Amino acid sequence: MLESSLEFLRCVCCGSKLEQTVFKSDKEIVEGILECKKCNAKYPIIEKIPILWNDFSNYLSFRKKLGGKIYHIIENSTLKQFCKTALLKNDQIGDDRTALEERWSNIYQKSKSSKFYSYIKKNLDPVKKSNLVLEYGCSIGIMTSFLAKSHKTVFGIDRSFTALRFAKKSYKDNLDYVVADFLSPVFGKQFFDLVLALNVLELVEPKELLQHISKQISNGLVIISDPYDFDRGIHSVKNPLDEKSLRMNLEKLGFKITSKTKTPMHIPWNLKLGPRTMLNYDVDLVICKK
């Protein structure tokens, strides 16, 4: 975690500023703890990644195998005990997500050359340099890394610690990542100049995410894409959106959709699942301003 990120991060339980204790650093904080003095919440920094989950033990309850791995990775005894306590606090809830998140991190690694990313990058070229940029569902950092080349400060949020470990392999002094739930107030009442949410509407209630993003933009740009693949069994969102209702909801929130993306788009997004298997999506894109 970059030292400068502390200025922007907030306690996801009460919204207060955080204080940091650094155990190990090398250009940035490698191991440490973020603490809220108001509500006493504590958030670990592990392998340069802050995990701002409202309950760290709950986060690991869905990722027991990951918890065991990071426990052995941690060097500082205080942080190690913090992780151990979280692991022992709760039993595993549902299926362990560790293997699934590792698999998708590898899939994104193999699919970085997809024309989808090239198309999005071309649409971002005309965007003026912004002071503060945020991407939801940044995964291994394909787009955040690109954005950091032309914008002042860039953040990426993802639920997957495994994916962000890939992203963190590339160091930039204006780019940082946070493990967090998309709807949690990680940045308090901070406004952003540019927000991206690419292909994540099936991971979180779409209307709630749009409302959350709307509160983070007072005068800026939002870029959203999605294939509308909402069939996730028991994990499906309750209120999915289609290409028409997505645009209607954005307009209700005060966004003006650019003329280029008022009509639904069809952008190929090809993911290489294995040596003989490809997942081919047809993705819609909406660019809007406030």
User: What pLDDT, on the 0 to 100 scale, is given for residue 84?
Assistant: 94
pLDDT at 127 exceeding the cut of 90: no
Task: Region of 284 please: left (phi>0), alpha (psi -120 to 50) or beta.
Answer: beta
Give 225-246 as a DSSP string: EE------GGG--SS---HHHH
3-state helix, strand, coil in the chain (%, to 5): 35, 25, 40
**DSSP at 201:** T
pLDDT tens digit sequence for 230-273: 988 888 899 999 999 999 999 999 999 999 999 999 999 999 99
- Report pLDDT digits (tens) over 192-216: 999 999 999 999 999 999 999 999 9
Distances (CA, A) of 224 to 1, 19, 41, 197, 279: 26, 33, 32, 5, 20
Torsion of CA 105, 107, 111, 112, to 10 degrees: 10
Q: What is the pLDDT of residue 100?
A: 94
Render pLDDT for 65-107 as a digit per residue (tens, 0 to 9): 999 999 999 999 999 999 999 999 877 667 899 999 999 999 9
Whole-number Å distance between alpha carbons of 262 and 162: 36
The residues spanned by each domain of the chain are: 3-96, 102-289
Whose structure tokens read 């080349």?
149
pLDDT at 158 over 80: yes
How far from chain centre, in Å, is Cα 59? Answer: 15
Average of pLDDT values for 46-73? 95
pLDDT for residue 171: 92
Residues in the chain: 290
Sign of the CA dihedral with 243 first, then 245, 248, and 253 last: negative
Mean pLDDT score of the chain? 95
Task: Note whether 161 and 49 are within 8 A (CB).
Answer: yes
In order, the DSSP letters of 4-73 are GGGGT-B-TTT--B-EEEEEEEESEEEEEEEE-TTT--EEEEETTEEB--S-HHHHHHT-HHHHHHHHHH
According to DSSP, residue 128 is labeled: P
pLDDT of 232 reads: 83
pLDDT confidence of residue 41: 97
| Range 108-116 average pLDDT | 93
Q: Which CATH class is domain 102-289?
A: alpha beta
Query: pLDDT tens digit string along 1-50?
Result: 999 999 999 999 999 999 999 999 999 999 999 999 999 999 999 999 99
- Is the sign of the CA dihedral 53, 57, 60, 61 positive or negative? negative
To 10 degrees, the CA torsion angle through 47, 52, 55, 58? Answer: -60
The end-to-end CA distance of the chain, in Å, is 30
